[in-house]
Amino acid sequence: MDRWPGKEATSKDAAQLSVLRSLDLQRLTRTSSRLKQHEAAALLARASVETTIVGIWCMCDGSGVEAMQSDNAYSVERLMLPLLGSIFLPPDAVKTAVGKLGTPRRFFIGVPLESIKRADGPRAAQRPYDIYYGPLSSFFARGTGMSLMRHTKW
């Protein structure tokens, strides 16, 4: 994409950006795999699956852009926390900046999945989550027992 349309962004814009990111993540996954960086390849593949699901969601539900803008506001607010109260960044400045982005609200991958179901979107959109995203999360992205057990002998 040449430029992001900002507040005028549509779901189609977000879906297009999702496709571009997914393609880049797939390229990075292949490169990591060729370099035998298996952990990195798994995490990149997980990000690619998540991005694909978000792209499908944007095509099925017009509220995707608004939800992502709210998550952007949440992220900016979180990024600024360590600087709050310092001479350089008064709390009012952060509140104003975040307010321009939207209402801070965390975005979770379950939101698009439920929204795709409600919009009677493609049933195939659920499969990447069940088949790839869940296992990749359990074994690579989180500090769960399953991911820790990968580092032991059975």
Q: Which residues of 65-81 are buried (b: 16+ CB within 10 A; e: fewer)?
A: bbbbbbbebbebbeebe
Q: What is the pTM of this model?
A: 0.78
* CA dist 111 → 49, 90, 96, 124, 134 (Å): 15, 33, 27, 16, 15
For the segment 47-67, what is each residue's pLDDT rounded down to a tens digit? Answer: 999 898 888 888 887 788 888
Average pLDDT of span 37-43: 94
Chain mean pLDDT for the chain: 85
* Contact between residue 125 and residue 61 where contact means Cβ atoms under 8 Å apart: no
Q: What are phi and psi of 30, to 5 degrees?
A: -60, -45
Give the closest residue to 57 by CA, choosing from 128, 1, 122. Answer: 122
Share of the chain above pLDDT 90, in %: 25
Domain residue extents for the chain? 12-62+124-154, 64-105
